[in-house]
């Protein structure tokens, strides 16, 4: 079965970036992202992004595999954030902006086309 890669590198540079957030609640006192307030962080992240004119799709998942160091967030195809707090949400926003810049640079380099054909004869470079 062929699946698309877990990356946004094939997306348009203006396409929304996806932030994956673990919201799992574990029982019996086990550490969990949901138990440490990840849902509250989602609301705060949305507010932070809106205030700074940045957009992202927020995708809630049940586990990112690092419960003991959560709450955890991840940019789809990009950075992973552990131990997230309200004070650190700017890191996610900055990572989204950096991801977009990288996507734009990649798109721009594709649009520039291949380099001009050149030849070298007798040690002289000609275009």
> Going by C-beta distance under 8 Å and a sequence separation of 6 or more, which residues neighbour residue 13?
100, 103, 104, 106, 107
- Mind listing the domains of the chain with CATH numbers? 17-126 (3.40.30.10)
- Give the pLDDT band of residue 71 (cuts 50, 70, 90): very high
Looking at residue 67, what is its pLDDT? Answer: 86
Report the mean per-residue pLDDT for the chain. 82
Range scoring the smallest mean pLDDT among 8-12, 42-46, 78-82: 8-12
| Tens-place pLDDT, residues 11-55 | 555 678 999 999 999 887 789 999 999 999 999 999 999 999 998
Give the Cα separation of 40 and 47 in Å (integer). Answer: 11
More confident residue, 117 or 3: 117
């Amino acid at each position: 079965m062929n699946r698309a890669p877990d990356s946004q590198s094939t997306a348009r540079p203006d396409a929304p970036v996806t932030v994956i957030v673990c919201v799992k609640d574990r029982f019996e006192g086990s550490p969990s992202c949901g138990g440490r307030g990840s849902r509250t962080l989602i609301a705060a992240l949305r507010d932070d992004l809106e205030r700074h004119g940045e957009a992202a799709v927020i995708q809630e998942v049940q586990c990112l595999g690092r419960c003991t160091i959560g709450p955890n967030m991840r940019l789809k195809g990009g950075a992973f954030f552990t131990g997230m707090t309200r004070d650190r949400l700017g890191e996610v926003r900055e990572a989204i902006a950096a991801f977009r810049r990288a996507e734009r640079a990649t798109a721009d380099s594709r649009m520039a086309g291949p380099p001009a054909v050149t030849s070298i004869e007798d040690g002289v470079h000609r275009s």
